[in-house]
Homo-oligomer: A and B are copies of this chain.
Amino acid sequence: MTDTTVKTIADLTREFGVTARTIRFYEAEGMLSPERAGTQRLYHPRDRVRLKLILRGKRLGFSLAEIREIIDLYDSAPGEVAQLHHFLDKIAERRADLAQKQRDIEVTMKELQQVEESCRSRLSELAPRDGREAAE
Q: Which residues of A does B touch, CB under 8 Å?
A: 56, 58-62, 70, 73-74, 78-81, 84-85, 87-88, 91, 94-95, 98, 100-102, 104-105, 107-109, 111-112, 115-116, 119-120, 122-123, 126-127, 130
Contact = CB atoms under 8 A, between A and B. Distances in A.
A84 B116 contact: no
B61 A119 contact: no
- Copies per assembly: 2
User: Among the interface residues A58, A112, A130, which one has the most CB atoms of the partner chain B within 10 A?
Assistant: A112
B84 A119 contact: yes
B126 A81 contact: yes
13 contacts: A56-B104, A59-B61, A60-B104, A61-B62, A81-B126, A85-B123, A88-B116, A91-B116, A91-B119, A98-B105, A101-B101, A101-B105, A102-B105
